[in-house]
């Protein structure tokens, strides 16, 4: 073959495999131009953060906002208020609580009041006492001494404490109401101040909780998981939980509602004043576009207009003015970042405001396809696949198998198998959901398919699937991921030899399990703040998690305080199988992580070094459970994409250690990618030997490399 023919062949091969633009990291991970977007109560002002640093909320006092700040990721939140109109001195915040080591919580912030309720664990760290703070006078008064109840404590529309709950040893939950003889402005958690309201069995606890009170505070709305798998939205007269009226029954996925404000996770649309339930959002066909179901005809025309404005996307109501005339709207899409609109209700007209990431406009982004597959034990799981932009797809007409043709019709089947990253969600009682994500845009623009599985133990798909994960860390929850990989290989989606696993928190644990329990399945792994030893994980939980300790041990499958429990937890801990690692591994950790302590990564790296197994270890001294600072998020992406390029050969943007001015310290550089290794000042990477026992049931894993 001549030189010209050789160059032509290389060019053709390059053209066949390069299917997308490598979008610069800075466009994906730098702070959005607008974040934490919200509407003021009077509907006249849209607030946002120009740099994604702190969450904030409007209050019932004009121009006053409240916001949290923690110390480099330690999650001990300090709480401040700020008058956004002050110019002299400019924007000086007032500390509502800035005690070191104390975690402040906003318990209630009703926009009709000039007071808020705040929780502080300043008396023992486990439980939060409840304080009333006056936004006009800055006076703070304790209204409940708490030595018993978990958060949240449920407050009515007049800022009165009404309900609280505690967890029992068997995992059930008991809800209590305030006794008629108690002083509501000077409560304790003593039994004399409370009356049992409702007992929820363990299997129903995560699907059963209050979501708010009617406008007159006489009725209480609940998400109700008893006697149903997906749950219902119900209402009953306060004090009569036995007399529920069903408002809506979930059909495809759980109704999700956070007692705290959250634009992404709340599926219930509530009137800001009279508290009428107006609509429900539920994911339906293929788990793609969420659909809004109108429950009150007063908003039927409004929601029809908003649906028609972007018929391929789903409207999200971010904020509503107190007079109900002005709404702040965005849309859920897998193709574009959030775009925001003013909706003027009297005019039935929406006005475009801005997009959060205008520099991505014109870039071709990935699509996210929802599908189902069946596990080895006949459990149906939901998952998402994102393919690189411009991936050539197989056509249904080409396929004789009707199942394959149906997959092709959804856009699941590429013409050629892809390099793939299995991206495992955290929690683990969280879920993957449809919509634009920075991570998917980033990975697919580097030429990787992304598989995201809602494995057993995930939220959102009913209590049967949720509870099926109890005690299955490192076993059936991991089998589900392997079965997802097998599905991708069998259907020509992924190349058998070019599959990586990565994730954060539980997803990081899953990556370590993948590297140790199934060392021949994945080409490499990336663990971000994942636990390596379930015993030390339990020993180091934050003190305010102790109120749900029984729930955590039920989820893990054992208690560290028994001999049998410790043996079980050890058998599910990657640390004790570190000598089985065979493929490249990267670990990233925040030094101040309160949930998964730095020791979880340190001890795993030490075990690898004791067995002469190379590892790349990146430490962020100013981060916690995940990397929030933009410069650190950019560097994280740089580290990971360069690492993935080395093992499964996708594209990457050039990266060096100090490129983004991050705080990252490279404590171990197995691949020699970053040019320098920081001295380990704390001396934690020692030579402690670890002996790996045999894995019980190891043969239950189907190794895709040999299968």
How far is C-alpha 201 from the chain's CA centre?
26
User: Chain-wide mean pLDDT for the chain?
Assistant: 89
Q: Are 173 and 165 in contact (CB under 8 A)?
A: yes
- Beta partners for 617? 587, 668
653 CB contacts (<8 Å, ≥6 apart)?
22, 24, 25, 638, 641
**Nearest C-alpha neighbor of 543 from the set 124, 68, 153, 170:** 124
Inform me whether the pLDDT recorded for 302 exceeds 60: yes
Alpha helices in 59-134 (DSSP H): none
314-323, 367-376, 552-561, 698-707: the lowest-pLDDT one: 698-707
pLDDT band at 506; cut points 50, 70, 90: very high
Rounded to an integer, the average pLDDT of 638-660 is 94
Inform me whether the pLDDT recorded for 686 exceeds 80: no
The tens digit of pLDDT for each residue in 251-289 reads: 888 988 765 544 445 789 999 999 999 999 987 655 667
Helices and strands (DSSP H and E) totals, the chain: 13, 35
Rounded to an integer, the average pLDDT of 503-513 is 98
Inform me whether the pLDDT recorded for 363 exceeds 50: yes
Q: Are 167 and 550 in contact (CB under 8 A)?
A: yes
Measured CA to CA in angstroms, residue 604 lies from 208, 333, 513, 522 at distances of: 38, 39, 12, 19
CA gap 459, 427 in Å, rounded:
9
Q: What is the DSSP code string of 585-597?
A: EEEEEETT-SSS-
**Nearest C-alpha neighbor of 274 from the set 326, 318, 222, 212:** 212
The tens digit of pLDDT for each residue in 396-420 reads: 999 999 999 999 999 999 999 999 9
The tens digit of pLDDT for each residue in 305-358 reads: 999 999 989 999 988 999 999 999 999 999 889 999 999 999 999 999 989 899
**Nearest C-alpha neighbor of 481 from the set 520, 514, 508:** 514
The tens digit of pLDDT for each residue in 101-125 reads: 999 999 999 999 999 999 999 988 8
> Could you give the angle at which helices 506-516 and 476-490 cross, rounded to 10 degrees?
70
Tokens of 295: 């429950």
How far is C-alpha 177 from the chain's CA centre?
31
Q: Are 589 and 625 in contact (CB under 8 A)?
A: no
Q: What is the dihedral of CA 473, 479, 482, 484, to 10 degrees?
A: -100
Domain positions in the chain are 3-24+364-533+573-693
Inform me whether the pLDDT recorded for 5 exceeds 60: no
Reported pTM: 0.91
The tens digit of pLDDT for each residue in 558-587 reads: 999 999 999 999 999 999 999 999 999 999
Which residues are annotated as catalytic? 505, 593, 625
Measured CA to CA in angstroms, residue 587 lies from 127, 476, 684 at distances of: 33, 24, 15
With residue 195 as reference, give the H or E element that holds it: strand 194-200
- Beta partners for 386? 368, 450
CA gap 578, 601 in Å, rounded:
12
Inform me whether the pLDDT recorded for 684 exceeds 50: no
The tens digit of pLDDT for each residue in 184-230 reads: 999 999 999 999 999 999 999 999 999 999 999 999 999 999 989 99
The tens digit of pLDDT for each residue in 610-628 reads: 999 999 999 999 999 999 8
pLDDT band at 87; cut points 50, 70, 90: low
Determine the topology of domain 3-24+364-533+573-693 in CATH: Rossmann fold (3.40.50)
For position 90, what pLDDT does the model report? 59
């Amino acid at each position: 073959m001549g030189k010209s023919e050789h160059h032509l062949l290389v060019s053709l091969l390059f053209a066949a495999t390069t299917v997308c633009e490598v979008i610069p990291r800075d466009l994906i991970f730098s702070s959005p131009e607008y974040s934490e977007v919200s509407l003021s109560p009077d509907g006249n002002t849209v607030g946002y953060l120009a740099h994604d640093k702190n969450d904030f909320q409007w209050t019932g006092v004009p121009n006053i906002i409240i916001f949290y700040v923690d110390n480099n990721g330690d999650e001990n939140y300090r709480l401040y208020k700020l008058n956004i109109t002050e110019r002299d001195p400019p924007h000086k915040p007032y500390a509502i609580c800035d005690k070191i080591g104390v975690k402040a919580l906003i318990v209630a912030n009703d926009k009709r009041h000039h007071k808020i309720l705040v929780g502080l664990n300043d008396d023992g760290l486990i439980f939060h006492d409840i304080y009333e703070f006056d936004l006009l006078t800055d006076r703070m008064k304790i209204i409940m001494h708490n030595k018993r109840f978990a958060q949240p404590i449920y407050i009515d529309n007049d800022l009165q404490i009404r309900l609280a709950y505690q967890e029992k040893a068997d995992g059930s939950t008991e809800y209590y109401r305030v006794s008629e003889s108690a002083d509501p402005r000077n409560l304790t958690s003593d039994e004399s101040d409370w009356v049992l309201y409702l007992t929820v069995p363990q299997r129903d606890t995560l699907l059963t909780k209050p979501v708010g009170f009617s406008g007159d505070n006489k009725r209480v709305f609940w998400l109700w998981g008893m006697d149903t798998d997906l749950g219902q939205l119900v209402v009953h007269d306060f004090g009569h939980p036995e007399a529920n009226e069903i408002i809506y029954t979930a059909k495809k996925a759980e109704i999700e509602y956070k007692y705290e404000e959250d634009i992404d996770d709340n599926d219930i649309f509530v009137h800001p004043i009279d508290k009428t339930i107006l609509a429900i959002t539920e994911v339906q066909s293929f788990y793609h576009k969420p659909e809004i179901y109108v429950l009150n005809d007063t908003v039927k025309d409004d929601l029809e207009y908003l649906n028609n404005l972007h018929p391929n996307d789903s409207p999200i109501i971010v904020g509503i003015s107190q007079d109900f005339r002005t709404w702040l709207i965005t849309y859920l899409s897998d193709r574009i970042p959030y775009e925001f609109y003013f909706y003027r209700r009297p005019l039935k007209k929406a006005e475009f405001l801005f997009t959060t990431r205008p520099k991505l406009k014109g870039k071709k982004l990935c699509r996210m396809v929802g599908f189902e597959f069946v596990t080895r034990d006949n459990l149906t799981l939901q998952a998402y696949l994102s393919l690189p932009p411009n991936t050539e797809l197989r056509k249904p007409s080409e396929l004789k198998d009707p199942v394959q043709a149906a997959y092709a019709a959804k856009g699941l089947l590429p013409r050629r198998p892809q390099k793939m990253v299995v991206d495992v969600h955290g929690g683990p009682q969280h879920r993957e959901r449809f919509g634009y994500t920075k991570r998917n845009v980033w990975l697919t623009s580097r030429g990787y398919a992304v598989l995201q599985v809602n494995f057993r133990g995930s939220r959102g798909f009913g209590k049967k699937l949720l509870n099926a994960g109890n005690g299955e860390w490192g076993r059936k929850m991991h089998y589900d991921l392997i079965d997802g990989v097998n599905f991708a290989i069998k259907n020509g989606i992924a190349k058998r030899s070019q599959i990586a696993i990565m994730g954060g928190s539980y997803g990081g644990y899953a990556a370590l399990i993948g590297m140790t329990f199934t060392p021949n399945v994945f080409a490499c792994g990336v663990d971000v703040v994942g636990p390596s030893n379930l015993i030390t994980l339990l020993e180091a939980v934050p003190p305010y998690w102790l109120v749900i300790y029984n729930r955590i041990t039920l989820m893990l499958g054992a208690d560290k305080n028994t001999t049998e429990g410790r043996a079980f937890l050890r058998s599910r801990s990657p640390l004790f199988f570190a000598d089985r690692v065979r493929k490249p591994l990267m670990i990233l950790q925040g030094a101040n992580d309160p949930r998964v302590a730095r020791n979880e990564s340190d001890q795993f790296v030490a075990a690898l070094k004791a067995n002469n197994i190379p590892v790349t270890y990146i430490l962020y001294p100013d981060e916690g459970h995940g990397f929030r600072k933009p410069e650190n998020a950019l560097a994280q992406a740089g580290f990971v994409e360069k690492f993935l390029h080395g093992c499964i050969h996708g594209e990457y943007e050039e990266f060096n250690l100090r490129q983004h001015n991050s705080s990252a310290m490279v404590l171990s550089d197995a691949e020699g990618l970053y040019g320098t290794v920081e001295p380990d000042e704390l001396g934690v990477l020692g030579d402690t030997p670890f002996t790996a026992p045999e894995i019980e049931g190891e043969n239950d894993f189907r190794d895709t490399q040999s299968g």
